[in-house]
Amino acid sequence: MQSVDGLSEGAKIAYQAFLDMSNSKTAHFNRLKATKTKYESGGAPSITESLELEKLLANHDKNVLAFKTAMAAVTDSDEKKSLVELMS
């Protein structure tokens, strides 16, 4: 298994951005799923629940942009390959 130890600081930042993006995706989808389950027999989410979903999605969007930016900063092809292996 590949390790982050041998990566440059830029690649480590990209990997952390990937982890943050994955976590925010999971948080948003879990809340979305819970909300859907709660209201599948009728009713609608409260304003508070809708705002929480929007906040989670906005956080995920921010993390996607940070990941995209961090990956673009990694220019070494071998290092990019190592990152892809870590993310798989």
| 68 assigned to some structural domain | yes
Q: What is the dihedral sign for C-alpha 63, 66, 68, 71?
A: negative
Tokens standing for residue 7: 């990566």
State which residues form the domain around 33: 11-87
Whole-angstrom Cα distance, residue 54 to residue 28? 9
The model scores a pTM over 0.85: yes
The three-state DSSP-derived secondary structure of 33-58 is: HHHHHHHCCCCCCCHHHHHHHHHHHH
| 75 assigned to some structural domain | yes
Q: What is the pLDDT along the chain (88 residues), one digit of tens a residue?
A: 578 888 999 999 999 999 999 999 999 999 999 999 999 989 899 999 999 999 999 999 999 999 999 999 999 999 999 999 999 9
| 82 assigned to some structural domain | yes
The number of folded domains in the chain is 1
Answer yes or no: are the C-beta atoms of 4 and 19 closer than 8 Å.
no
| 77 assigned to some structural domain | yes
